[in-house]
Each structure stands twice: as C-alpha cells, then as structure tokens.
Amino acid sequence: MPWRKRVAVASTTEWRRTRPVPRSAGSIRRARRSGLRLWVATLTGAATLVATHLAVLYTLSQELDPRVAAIDGGIAIFGIAAAAWYIGNVTDERMRHAVETVLLEVLETPRNIRDTAAAALETLVDEGIVIAAVVAVTREEADTPLEIVASVGYPDAWLGEAPPLRLADSGALHRENSRQGWLSPLTRRLKRNGWIARLRLSSGDEPIGLLLLVARAPGPLRDRRALHSLARQVAAALDHAALYEAAYARERDLVDQDARRREFLAAISHEIRTPLTAIEAFAELLEMDHTSAADDTAMQLVGSLRGGVDRLRMLVTDLINLGRSGTLEYPMNPADVDLAALVQRAVALMRPAFLLRRQELVLDSPVATPHVLADQQLLEQVVLNLLANANRHAPVGTEITLRVCATDHDRVRLEIDDAGNGIPPEFRERIFEPYFRVPDATPGDIPGSGLGLAVARRLLQQMGGRIWVAEKPEPGARFCVEMRATVTHHARPEDATRT
C-alpha cells in the first residue's frame, strides 16, 4: 500500500498530544563545547609546560638559551598537532553520535505528520545544525511536485511562490549562491553563499518525500553518515506519524460505529415493541373469552403465546440495556436457578413449534433436579435456542429428547438429542461460529441465520458453563450443556414426561 494511502488525516486539531513539543537536550552543542574545552585545556597545558621549563632553566643559569626555547617550542607544536588530531576525531565522533540521536524525542512522541515534521525541523534549528529546513512528502498523484508539510526559517508568504520540490532534486551537501532558489529568502543570514542538501526520505524501499537542509557552514553535515542518519530519523518519524494517524482514524471510526450501533439498537427496539403490544393485547383478549368452546390444548397454545410475548419483551429490554451500556457483553445477574422449572417454561414456549411439525418431545429429568448458578433469563435463552435448533433440523414426526442429569464435581448436564442428519466431526466446533452453516445443509429447506448456537456458547461462557456436540450411537445430533450446581441432591427415581 502506498505510504500516503496509509495516512488517515493530514492534520487535525483533535489530535491527542500526550506531551508538549519536545525540546532538544542540546547534545550537539555539548559536543561542540566539549571539543572547545579540550582545545583550551591542551593549549593551556602546552603553554604552561613550556613556560615552566624555560623559567626553571633561567633560574638555574641566569640566562635563556634560544636553542632550548626553539626545542621547547618545537615539542609544544608537535604535541599540539597530535592533540589536534585526537581532539578532532573525538569531537567528530561525539558530533556524529549526537546527530544520530538528535530526533529520538520526536520519534517517541505521538503526533500527526505535520506536527512531527515541524518538531523535527525545530529540533535541528535549536541544535544549531541548520538555519532553515523543509519537509515535503509525496502526493497520491504521480509526477507532481511534493507537498510541503513543514518548514522552519522561511516566510510563509514566500513558500507559496517557492520553486517546486521533486524527488529527482535530491542531492548531497553542496554550496550554492545565496541569491538563487531556496537560498534567496535567506540572503541576509548567509551573505554570499550557503550550504544546502536535499535528502530523499524513504519508508522501506518506498520514497515518501524530501528533506531540505540549509546551513551557514557544513559543520556536522559534512559527514555523509551523519547527513544520511538525519534523513533516516526524519523518515522514521514520518512513518510513525502515519501509523499514529491511521490508528487515530481507526479509533474515531470505531467510536462512530459504536454510536451508530446504539442508535440502531434503540430504533429497532422501539419498532419491535409496537407490534408486540398488539400481539399481547390479542392474547389477553383470547384468555378473557370464556364463552368460546376452546379446549385445553387451545388454551395452552394461548398461554404459550403470552409467554412468548413476555419473553420477547424481556429480550427487547435487554437489547436496549445492551445498547446503553456500550459493551459487547450481555447484562448478567447470576442467581440460584431452578433448572426444572426453567426447562418446563422453555418447553411450553416451544410447544406450538413442535405441534406444527408433529414432533414428540420427551423430557427426561429427576424429580428433584439440582439448581444451577446462572442468569435465569440468559440460561432460558440458551435452552430455547437449542430446542429451536432441534425443531428445525429434526425430521417431521420424529422424537426429540431433553435430558437433565447431575454429574460428578457438582455439575449439572443438559442434553438435547434429535434424529436429524447429525453434524460431521470436522464441523462440531465451527457450528458455534457466527453465521456458519454446515455445507451439506440446504438453507432453503432449513431456516435460520447461523447465530443461535454462537449466541448460546457466548451466553454460557459468561455464566461459567460450556456447550459442545457429543457423540451418539444412533443418527442425529446431541448437544450437551454443563453448568455448576448450587444444591446437591441425592439420587431419586426419574420421571419421563412426553409432550
């Protein structure tokens, strides 16, 4: 991906700054002062040694031999020359190291591209390396002049009329007439000539811009290694700034998406409540109509309708709370849950669906089913999802078994068996992924969005339970749910209830 396309925003007043614009620690100035102090110490030491030696000779002989003075002077000059070579090397090495680390604070501070470039140029000027500098970056359109994103030492009005900068203009440090090109606004500060360098900036192998440096004297820039080190540091700072901008843009996009998600949840919850009110009123009218010759089965179906409406109303309330909370977790209230009563309510809600497909539901559970630690509403949603899944995938007129049993270590297991096509072993984990459907299943024949099992696993994980697909000898699928028991019961005879 081109470097410029990774940049989300070129400059923004909303950019978060964790620190003020960093100022240089003055490492280059310290290196210069250190070299000057070494020179002063060397000259002072040489002069002191020569003067002391001549004074001792004069005191002893009461005269000063010119030949001795010449020899002392020659030795002093030789020593100063050797010291000059040493001091020059030490100073150059310190200057090179200072130049190679001069922009570390700029690299450490997150900013956008324009602020990063400006901070880097201000640091170079503060250190006395240059008197003016410009950073220009590539545009998305090829074969066009570079875009100036930061400058120091140049009048803003002149930059609008400045000569265009191109990647092909890059070149090493050299002297130019101060009345031409990019040196013309700096004539008063440069006198007749100035030193200028145009350095290419790269991100990996991709050119991203140009760094223009102007100095009165070469100074540390005469070292090619130091010059290219500056270019690498500025390029790295711009690359980091581009990544920060992209991260900032992603964060803003996530914030916007979260706001839209909350608005959508609020809107859809409101729209669902409107038809729910009409359905609830209709169910209440059916329950109040005692004059009709409705049999017990019809009244049970009306009760299932009322229960389904209440269940859906609670889900809408949870949907609203989920949108207001701003989290991706369902609100949970763990408590001691009577699993037997919960299963009975879920079976009652699913009764119309089983009647339509002429399916027989066998409920196999102990008389005293252990209680479990869970959120009652969320656990009921899990059981409903599994029953609805079995209802859709089991053939018409077949039997579905719901079994509850206590296991070791104070755990309670709920198993749902159907006589459908079953689930191949390689898909027994993937079916819990959102929107995943077993490839052999034909979506036109079996309705569903592929979310029920994914929601069931997520809810159980929140409650400390687990769900999986187990092996069974006969055809079909067996889903197992395991929760932690809160009350331990002794084993008692089991009843079998057919629905």
User: What is the band of 440 on the pLDDT scale with cuts at 50, 70, 90?
Assistant: low
Q: What is the pTM of this model?
A: 0.51
HEC assignment per residue over the chain: CCCHHHCCCCCCCCCCCCCCCCCCCCHHHHHHHHHHHHHHHHHHHHHHHHHHHHHHHHHHHCCCCHHHHHHHHHHHHHHHHHHHHHHHHHHHHHHHHHHHCCCHHHHHCCCCHHHHHHHHHHHHHHCCCCCEEEEEECCCCCCCCCEEEEEECCCHHHHCCCCCCCHHHCEEEEEEECCCHHHHHHHHHHCCEEEEEEEEEEECCEEEEEEEEEECCCHHHHCHHHHHHHHHHHHHHHHHHHHHHHHHHHHHHHHHHHHHHHHHHHHHHHHHHHHHHHHHHHHHHHHHCCCCCCCHHHHHHHHHHHHHHHHHHHHHHHHHHHHHHCCCCCCCCCEEECHHHHHHHHHHHHHHHHHHCCCEEEEEEECCCCCEEECHHHHHHHHHHHHHHHHHHCCCCCEEEEEEEEECCCEEEEEEECCCCCCCHHHCCHHHCCCCCCCCCCCCCCCCCCCHHHHHHHHHHHCCCEEEEECCCCCCCEEEEEEEECCCCCCCCEEEEEC
Does 4 have pLDDT greater than 80?
A: no
User: What confidence score (pLDDT) does residue 74 get?
Assistant: 82
Spell out the domain ranges in the chain. 4-248, 252-323, 335-498
> For the domain bounded by 4-248, which CATH number is listed?
3.30.450.40
Stretch 207-211: mean pLDDT, rounded? 91
Does 12 have pLDDT greater than 50?
A: no
pLDDT, one tens digit per residue, over 48-105 is: 877 787 777 777 777 777 777 788 778 878 777 887 777 777 766 676 667 777 787 8
Stretch 433-442: mean pLDDT, rounded? 73
Does 272 have pLDDT greater than 90?
A: no
CATH of 335-498 given 3.30.565.10, 2.60.40.1510, 3.40.50.300, 1.10.10.10: 3.30.565.10
More confident residue, 358 or 322: 358
Stretch 492-498: mean pLDDT, rounded? 45
User: What is the band of 247 on the pLDDT scale with cuts at 50, 70, 90?
Assistant: confident
Stretch 329-352: mean pLDDT, rounded? 84
More confident residue, 423 or 491: 423
Percent of the chain at pLDDT exceeding 90 = 14
Identical topology for domains 4-248 and 335-498: no
Mean pLDDT of the chain: 78
Does 466 have pLDDT greater than 90?
A: yes
pLDDT, one tens digit per residue, over 370-387 is: 889 999 988 988 998 899
User: What is the band of 212 on the pLDDT scale with cuts at 50, 70, 90?
Assistant: very high
> For the domain bounded by 252-323, which CATH number is listed?
1.10.287
Q: Which of 67-71, 282-286, 352-356 has the highest mean pLDDT?
A: 352-356
Does 447 have pLDDT greater than 70?
A: no
